Amino acid sequence: MGFRFDVITLFPELVESVVASGMPRRAVEQGAVELHCWNPRDYTKDKHRTVDDRPYGGGPGMVMKADCLLDTIRDVKRNSSGKVIYLSPQGQPLTQSAVRDMSKQESLTLLCGRYEGVDERVIELAVDEEWSIGDYVLSGGELGAMVLIDAVSRLLPNVLGHQDSAEQDSFSNGLLDCPHYTRPELVGGLGVPSVLKSGNHAEITKWRKQQSLGRTQKRRPDLLEGKELNEEELNLLSDYLKVSLKKEAD
């Protein structure tokens, strides 16, 4: 049985478009992922099918009403027992480690907000976890849900082309990736580092490790904080930084 995503959204076509291409499509075709969308508008009872209302206390924007959302969640739970995850700017920032934990479940329910968000009592009564995809403003939770579906799907067994590419990825080891090159040998006058053409696999592995460490230190030093580097790694890193300081001086 595949991993099941149930997505609660006012824009089901938008969320379904995530499986129209890329990694999630392969996962669905291979039966590793199932996607079901639920529209809270279908759970309204008034003739205008109202899903939002003005905020108590006043102010700009609208709030998603609790009743249709709680009725939708109740119906989802007749089909799936997965945790309910609310995508929102107030959530913890999503990380590869959180994605890895999620991929160990067998199903997840993703709740997407629109407008200013959902009535807080929905979160209190029915939400297990709240996640953000970063500190910038989106128009709603759908893109967050699509990011989460993509990131979880590619970790499921039998989804990736080569089984170990997921493990070799940047962030699985907590470091940024090394540079990559392919043919031709010259591009705009720039060549390929000679070690990559040497055929010496031990040296190539060492160079890649050094590039990963060096780029991480320069671009994302936060990723190295609290990470214990061994003596070999510290030497690779200090050699990288020496070379890079010399290049900056030129």
Q: Would you name the residues annotated as active-site residues?
A: 89, 116, 154, 169
Provide CB contacts within 8 A for 244, sequence distance 6+: 214, 218
With beta carbons less than 8 A apart as the criterion, state whether 106 and 61 touch: no
Taking the complex as a whole, how short is the minimal distance between the CB of residue 130 and ligand 9D3, in angstroms? 9
At residue 189, the 3 state secondary structure works out as: coil
> Interface residues for ligand 9D3 in 104-143 (CB under 6 A)?
113, 116-117, 132-134, 136-138, 140-141
Taking the complex as a whole, how short is the minimal distance between the CB of residue 179 and ligand 9D3, in angstroms? 29
87 sits near ligand 9D3 (criterion: CB under 6 A): yes
Taking the complex as a whole, how short is the minimal distance between the CB of residue 48 and ligand 9D3, in angstroms? 23
User: Under the phi-then-psi rule, with left for phi > 0, alpha for psi from -120 to 50, and beta for the rest, what region is 23?
Assistant: alpha
95 sits near ligand 9D3 (criterion: CB under 6 A): no
224 sits near ligand 9D3 (criterion: CB under 6 A): no
What single-letter DSSP state applies at residue 36? E
> Interface residues for ligand 9D3 in 8-47 (CB under 6 A)?
none
- Of 142 and 212, the one with the shorter C-beta distance to ligand 9D3 is 142
As a whole number of angstroms, the distance between CA 13 and CA 9 comes to 9
Taking the complex as a whole, how short is the minimal distance between the CB of residue 132 and ligand 9D3, in angstroms? 4
- Of 88 and 211, the one with the shorter C-beta distance to ligand 9D3 is 88
As a whole number of angstroms, the distance between CA 14 and CA 146 comes to 9
Provide CB contacts within 8 A for 153, sequence distance 6+: 3, 23, 24, 27, 32, 33, 159
Q: Quick one: which of 12, 24, 144, 214 contacts ligand 9D3 (CB under 6 A)?
A: 144
Tokens of 164: 């170990």
With beta carbons less than 8 A apart as the criterion, state whether 107 and 3 touch: yes
With beta carbons less than 8 A apart as the criterion, state whether 119 and 82 touch: no
> Interface residues for ligand 9D3 in 156-175 (CB under 6 A)?
none
89 sits near ligand 9D3 (criterion: CB under 6 A): yes
59 sits near ligand 9D3 (criterion: CB under 6 A): no
With beta carbons less than 8 A apart as the criterion, state whether 81 and 113 touch: no
Taking the complex as a whole, how short is the minimal distance between the CB of residue 32 and ligand 9D3, in angstroms? 24
Q: Quick one: which of 9, 72, 88, 217 contacts ligand 9D3 (CB under 6 A)?
A: 88
For ligand 9D3, the binding residues (CB under 6 A) are 87-89, 113, 116-117, 132-134, 136-138, 140-141, 144
